[in-house]
Homo-oligomer: A and B are copies of this chain.
């Protein structure tokens, strides 16, 4: 038991730690993008699909379902014709977006540094 371990109430490094399950969900590119997108307010299915370029309908559907199951996203159905479905953050989900969008914005701010590092690395050891 090191100091590193001590600061976690649960041992996130432990194999079957439940925190891992949550981290599994969060540590997903699409989930991060979706949560970040929902932070702006409720959005309909195909709207998300259009906004987040490159996500397939299947994966969007799956990811939304997982996020809903985790209690992070709510799904509201309106009896219009055709039917309208709105996805939104739950209160729990809203407690997460600050952290998640911090991650997205870190990526944005430090993208150049990362790309530079990659170039340097690739030059040092060419394929």
Contacts and interface: CB of A to CB of B under 8 A. Distances in A.
A71 B33 contact: no
Given A29-B24, A68-B121, A117-B71, A19 B111 contact: yes
Given A106-B99, A114-B71, A36 B12 contact: yes
A28 to B, nearest CB: 6
Interface in A103-127: 103-108, 110-111, 113-118, 120-122
B13 A52 contact: yes
A58 interface: no
Interface string A1-36: 011110011101111001111111111110111001
Nearest to A116: B71
A96 B103 CA distance: 8
A54 interface: yes
Interface in A48-74: 51-54, 68-72
Given A4-B51, A25-B114, A71-B114, 11 more contacts: A4-B39, A8-B105, A12-B104, A23-B29, A23-B104, A27-B27, A68-B121, A71-B116, A92-B113, A99-B106, A100-B103
Which 3 A-B pairs give the minimum distances between C-beta atoms?
Answer: A71-B117, A15-B53, A4-B40
